[in-house]
Structure 1
């Protein structure tokens, strides 16, 4: 088990409060009972103040020392007894000596064996009470430590899963890109080949740069998507056109990286690739109330096939996208698809409140 590192300030607060409360109760008790026997209260108060100060210092040292250690509760109880029992045994004769020499000078004949038994109990009660409360406090610290440890493990597992899903988002489009580059080289289209390399470099740079970031500016995400779609335009030529509808108010926000990428990949694979004539992809970003809406639409080969491509891709990048959204936002984010006016649209809705919290 990891060593416990609680707030020592909180411990000393409760530690001081315990011994002050004990002294208050003891002083009230002495102030009421001692004068009934015609004795002076002051010596008794000073003796118990001295004994309490000794117990305060010893138990404070023990408590601070043991809070920093990584013992189980059973081990802690044994170690605590090794400290508190000697303290108890040492304070009993000290109390009796002080009582006999400073508080009960004129009452030696009244001292009986019961006084010694009573001394054992009177010294034992505050020490035992402190020990019990310390065990409760240590148990609470261990519970909080275990809870924090479980939360950290869950967070690490969640982040690992998110990284795996993000790495899976980058598909094998590299093969198509390299094939397109090879065709351009064979056709001696040097400028087009150079532009393709620049777009590929921009896309890969974006992927590598943001692999450790939770959120990135939306503009960077759109730049990466633009580089990806520019590569596809080289592949499909003039028959693929792009339309961008961007809300300036939404561009100031940050979003998780590579969210639109899966929608673009599947639009290319299941829609643009199936169209023999002109194909169009529309990218829209808008801010509406408390959400940011990101959508990507295509004019695929008819409603029947287009409506089926999310199902065809359910085991791939779209499933990863849905899982990423669930891990990041729970049920507050939404991934939806619809067919309308010969356009098949995939839309992601992100809550602004959750984006601000993650950021």
Structure 2
């Protein structure tokens, strides 16, 4: 019964609280009986009469589990649902009270009464029991119903609070799982990008070695080593300041300039206000790689890659532009492969709708990819966190 009610009570606590409940009414009843005896007979209650009163109190105390079990099975709810009526549960409990009152009076008449006759030589007439039954019936029903309604209410409140707490803990747990999932997805995407540009760079090294250009291959490997070392320094950070991201991008472009030599020119137009803006690590590298692979790789001269950043009230924009063939290139659609797709996925995972990628290829040639970050960086932010309003 205690498990069904959901109340955090031990068996001992249950019997103690029920004893206190019935004890209050027993003391009130004892005072009433004393006054009735004094007014009617002019004498106080006799010990054998007090014994009967004590038996009545113990009887109702012992019925507490039955009463509460009945209240669980047929609760008295004042909120009518599905067209149900409160009359049926009240009639049900009225039958139980009637049965209990008849049972205690029968018990007194057939067991207590003979014992009293042997002890004091007196018996209580049947009329007195009938009188007691009808006099005490209303009071016993009120006490019974008060216990039923009170128990239902307390049990409901406790279960409601328990469900509320469980719901809160479940929501907190789900939020933690969502955060862990998002972080795992970000790490997965980043781990896909690292070998992506690594394999391409090593392929360039192999090409130089095949051409017997050992000096350039050695310089490219050394620069690649510096780039990987810089990546490993920030391996645990999902977000780094833009100035750190630009350092990684410069190192990658240094590797490419070894490959292209004088054919490739790189320009930077960086707004100083954007340098501390936190961005996902290696967010620019796949965009720059896309510009080289699908934009300027076939150009024999005057290849240009320009990186521009700008901060406004709406947020920050970073644009990577190349002057390649753009829409006229047959390889352009292939450029929307792993690199840019992962970049877009990383933005969605990290920022949701607060960041977007814009891909443009004007008719006159060239390609520009712009990253838009909504919000602004707050004072005191560092490279390991996002901007304050993102």
TM-score in same-fold range (> 0.5): yes
Shorter chain as denominator, the TM-score bin is 0.5 to 0.7
Q: 2:248 aligns with which of 213, 220, 224?
A: 224
The answer for the alignment partner of 1:139 in structure 2 is 163
Question: For residues 320 and 329 of structure 2, what CA distance do their matches in structure 1 show?
Answer: 17
Whether 1:259 aligns to 2:283 is: yes
The answer for the alignment partner of 1:352 in structure 2 is 375
Question: For residues 302 and 205 of structure 1, what CA distance do their matches in structure 2 show?
Answer: 33
Q: Tell which structure's C-alpha radius of gyration is larger.
A: 2
The answer for the alignment partner of 2:324 in structure 1 is 300
Question: For residues 20 and 248 of structure 2, what CA distance do their matches in structure 1 show?
Answer: 75
TM-score, reference length from structure 2: 0.62
Question: For residues 76 and 232 of structure 1, what CA distance do their matches in structure 2 show?
Answer: 71
Question: Cα–Cα, structure 1 residues 221 and 102, in superposed 2: closer, same or farther, change >3 Å?
Answer: farther
The answer for the alignment partner of 1:97 in structure 2 is 26
Residue 171 of structure 1, CA deviation:
4.2
SS at match of 1:241: strand
Query: What RMSD, in angstroms, separates the aligned Cα atoms of the two structures?
Result: 3.3
Whether 1:334 aligns to 2:356 is: yes
Question: Cα–Cα, structure 1 residues 305 and 352, in superposed 2: closer, same or farther, change >3 Å?
Answer: same
SS at match of 1:170: helix
Deviates more, 1:289-298 or 1:147-156: 147-156
Whether 1:170 aligns to 2:170 is: no
Whether 1:286 aligns to 2:327 is: no
For structure 1, the residue ranges without an aligned partner over 5 or more in a row are: 1-73
Question: Any conservation in 2 of the 1:274–1:301 contact (CA below 8 Å)?
Answer: no
Question: Any conservation in 2 of the 1:200–1:228 contact (CA below 8 Å)?
Answer: yes
Question: For residues 81 and 302 of structure 1, what CA distance do their matches in structure 2 show?
Answer: 71
Matches within 5 A, 1:1-359: 77-80=4-7, 86=15, 89-100=18-29, 105-107=34-36, 112-114=135-137, 115-178=139-202, 180-181=204-205, 183=208, 187=213, 189=215, 195-301=219-325, 303-305=327-329, 309=332, 311-340=333-362, 342-353=365-376, 355-357=386-388
Deviates more, 1:108-117 or 1:222-231: 108-117
Question: Any conservation in 2 of the 1:334–1:350 contact (CA below 8 Å)?
Answer: yes
Question: Cα–Cα, structure 1 residues 199 and 284, in superposed 2: closer, same or farther, change >3 Å?
Answer: same
Residue 173 of structure 1, CA deviation:
3.4
The answer for the alignment partner of 1:18 in structure 2 is none
For structure 2, the residue ranges without an aligned partner over 5 or more in a row are: 40-131, 378-385
